[in-house]
A and B are shown apart, each in its own frame.
Chain A
Amino acid sequence: MTTPATGAHAHLGSHGDEHGHHPQSFFHKYLWSTDHKMIAMQYLFTGAALALIGGYLAYVFRMQLAFPGMNVPGYGLVTPGKYNSLVTMHGTIMIFWVAMPVLVAAFGNFLIPLMIGCDDMVFPRINRLSYQVFLLSAIILIASFFVHNGAFGGAWTSYPPLSAKGAYNLSPLGASLWLIAVALEFVAFLLGGLNFVVTTMNGRAPGMRMWDIPVVVWMIVLASVLFMASVGPLIAGAVMLLFDQRLGTAFYDPGRGGDPLLWQHLFWFFGHPEVYVVLLPALGIVAEIITVFARKKLFGYRTVLYTTWATGVLSFVVWAHHQFIAGIDPRMANVFTITTLLISVPITEMIFVYIATLYGGSIRFTTPMLWALSFIAEFLIGGVTGIFLGASGADIYFHDTYFVVAHFHYTFFPSAIIGMFAALSFWYPKMFGRMMNETLGKIHFWGTVIAFNVIFIPLFITGAAGDQRRIYSYALFPEQAKPGLQHLRELSTIGVIVLLTFQIPFLINFFWSLKHGERAPENPWHSNTLEWTVPSPPPHGNFAELPTVYRGPYEYSAPGRKTDYWPQNEPIAPVEEAAL
């Protein structure tokens, strides 16, 4: 750390006065903070709380599916209307209020400034506003459970005309609140995404070239770009839908010159890139973890970035595969089948790169590494089953069956949940200054991953047997009401209960370690990236002296060195230069 490196950062210092260690009130420290690490915590805890709500909703409707008509312990009787609300809100919460805030916002906020060697986000007040808007959206969403006729029940895709008219969906206020909450949530992520991109492009420490940025930062930035580029049409669509609901316009009303399919195009134009918005940060997290615990350089850093860009571009031209049988011109399906299958190429390539990284390594199976490896193993299943749905001819049968449900849970669960636990167990020492308990971590890992497969493997089978989605009870469908299929549904429900139970060791581990965990050193995993060069947890302002970067982030086991890691900011010492 020879260079004072003030030049690149001087223009960021408008909030520098906040970096002193003057005492702060509780309100200013925890609720009104502009510190990126505190905002990350706010996002993390809000997202985690909503994950518990989303998990509870899943438990209730799975109980109804396994034991139709039962009085669900902790909820009560599930009526068809409530059932629809439960599945709608489960989907909405898990994607928009869990996956995005935790993966993109929480870890984006925490990691980006620390990993690129910056004292904070470029726009700290916009960052604070982003969380506040997000919190407001979460409150509105939760409030919609308590309005007349309950929360919106028209599925997380909210297709009009069902969502547009209270006479059809029977919960007009719930539908409007849902829409307002979703639109506000998008505004929050627009503000956050803007910050991520600008900070990464302009706030990097001296010496950090584009090719020296850690993969996880690249992935979060690209996810933000995808999000910002795709969300505009959906916000426009949401405003039109809100007008249809509240002002009696007819954008989606076929009786008065509108078209319900318009919404589907706007929704999925956003909705498919959204899949990658969630997936990419998880892929980035996995890249950081497998390199550290295999003590290996990432196999083809540039290949990873090229394939990510290719995936990002392709993700904008595949959306209509959600609409093959929606009544669009059938000839369009042929084009979208080709683009959809094409996207399998960069994604498989990326997975091959990750697997190849293990070659020649020295793998330690710590809790974060187990999560990262299970991400690859589980995501592969989600990836290959997507081919069935992208191939238009096969989608005729699988569309809107439980096969689809199982498929996207095999992509979203590894991304959002496994990715979240991987990141938490890996960066916990940095975030909270304590180590987590490995034994509890492993119990939590095995319980969660096994239960996850117990939930969703049976659903591939019921889907292949023709179970359609969003059905409250199969009693009226003789072919689906067979006992064999019902046993599979019960098995899946048992999986949900086991999965939720196994979150208890995690919660104990998390809160116990906060106070009683072993104190974390600066760099417990012997990692290279810049966040490990500051104290754990990092102080306000992050770096006592802003670092200078000399090399890429994955120089593990470099030949001719005494240690098997080589921090990005370590200058080349004269002795070692001589040795080389």
Chain B
Amino acid sequence: MLERFSTGASTFSGSIDHLIFLVAILVGFWLIVVEGALFWLMYRYRHREGHSSQYITGEEKHLTRWVTVPHILVMLCDIVIVIPAILVWVNVKQTMPPAEQTVRIFSQQWAWSFQQPGADGILDTADDIRTVGELHVKTDTTYRFELMSRDVLHSFSVPMFRLKQDAVPGRTITGWFRATRPGNYDIQCTQMCGIGHGLMAARIIVETPEQHSAWIRRASNPAVAAAAQPALDTDGAKLAEVRP
């Protein structure tokens, strides 16, 4: 259903969409039934000359079942929703599949910056690739992210991935994603973070493994790295204090 508005691009986007679809079917059913009953009763029992209203207390057994039966049905629907909701949640947020790559995501007023391993594939070495406003990842690779904030709360959201996680200063919050479709997608900040909140946009660039290794070679090029470095060196120093 959500696909109409926003195409999924990660391995868990499908399961979240299915959950949303399930909820939509169940609550849509109840909405139609109850609104239908409301409007039908309004029409059926509108005031007409010669018809007076009935005296019903609604406390006898045969009457209370008009409330208790829907009560049980609503409870059943709740169970039908809770179980898949928790299963999806546990899969997305509570479990960490074996990661093939790690990226660090730094949020600050009002920009996203990223640190990922260079050609050597190891984080925190000299050839790490640091980017601002642009995160390059490859398809079919499980990424573990470490999300940090340098000042206030932010939230890392990639709608196409159905991924959203707040960043809290003083903490490193981990999570994962695995992209399925190459393309360029929005990264939003979805937690109010000051006057530049609406400007805190970035892009996530999902590449095929070949494109991605070509990008890594280009970005790890010492000349390119040096060009990107000066602006970030000071931030790098700050990061060290922020990390717990």
A residues whose Cβ falls under 8 Å from a Cβ of B: 79-81, 83-84, 153-155, 157, 159, 161-162, 168-170, 254-255, 259-261, 294-303, 325-327, 330-331, 333-334, 337-338, 341-342, 344-345, 348-349, 351-353, 355-365, 373, 376-377, 380-381, 384-385, 387-388, 391-394, 396-401, 461, 464-466, 468-473, 476-480, 556-559, 564
Q: Which of B56-75 contact A (CB under 8 A)?
A: 56-59, 63-64, 66-67, 70-71, 74-75
- Name the residue of chain B whose CB is nearest to the CB of A153: B195
Q: Which of B31-78 contact A (CB under 8 A)?
A: 31, 34-35, 37-39, 41-42, 45-48, 51-59, 63-64, 66-67, 70-71, 74-75, 78
Q: Which of B87-124 contact A (CB under 8 A)?
A: 87-90, 92-94, 109
Enumerate chain A residues within 8 angstroms of B138, measured Cβ to Cβ: none
- Name the residue of chain B whose CB is nearest to the CB of A555: B55
Given A162-B193, A345-B74, 9 more A-B residue pairs with CB atoms under 8 Å apart are: A84-B197, A157-B192, A159-B152, A333-B89, A349-B74, A377-B39, A473-B198, A479-B6, A564-B52
Select one of A337, A351, A473 contacting B82, CB under 8 A.
Answer: A337
Given A341-B81, A465-B5, are A330 and B41 also a contact pair (CB < 8 Å)?
no
A470 touches B192 (CB 8 A): yes
Enumerate chain B residues within 8 angstroms of A469, measured Cβ to Cβ: 190, 192
CA distance A344 to B57 in the complex (A): 24
B159 touches A161 (CB 8 A): no
For the complex formed, measure the closest distance between the CB of B11 and the CB atoms of chain A, giving whole angstroms.
14
B88 touches A393 (CB 8 A): yes
B82 touches A391 (CB 8 A): yes
Select one of A79, A303, A396, A478 contacting B164, CB under 8 A.
Answer: A396
Enumerate chain A residues within 8 angstroms of B23, measured Cβ to Cβ: 387-388, 391, 394
Q: Which of B4-23 contact A (CB under 8 A)?
A: 5-6, 15-16, 19-20, 23
Say whether B222 faces chain A, with CB atoms less than 8 Å apart. Answer: no
CA distance A68 to B169 in the complex (A): 32
Enumerate chain A residues within 8 angstroms of B242, measured Cβ to Cβ: 255
CA distance A414 to B214 in the complex (A): 56
Select one of B92, B93, B170 contacting A254, CB under 8 A.
Answer: B170
Enumerate chain B residues within 8 angstroms of A83, measured Cβ to Cβ: 198
**Which of B51, B53, B90 gathers most chain A CB within 10 Å?**
B53
**Which of B64, B70, B153 gathers most chain A CB within 10 Å?**
B153
Say whether B188 faces chain A, with CB atoms less than 8 Å apart. Answer: yes
Given A80-B199, A84-B195, are A327 and B86 also a contact pair (CB < 8 Å)?
no
A297 touches B41 (CB 8 A): no
B2 touches A397 (CB 8 A): yes
Enumerate chain A residues within 8 angstroms of B88, measured Cβ to Cβ: 392-394, 396
For the complex formed, measure the closest distance between the CB of A235 and the CB atoms of chain B, giving whole angstroms.
22
Enumerate chain B residues within 8 angstroms of A381, measured Cβ to Cβ: 31
CA distance A357 to B201 in the complex (A): 51
Given A355-B37, A387-B23, A476-B199, are A348 and B168 also a contact pair (CB < 8 Å)?
no
Select one of B35, B58, B86, B196 contacting A303, CB under 8 A.
Answer: B58
For the complex formed, measure the closest distance between the CB of A209 and the CB atoms of chain B, giving whole angstroms.
16
Enumerate chain A residues within 8 angstroms of B5, measured Cβ to Cβ: 461, 464-466
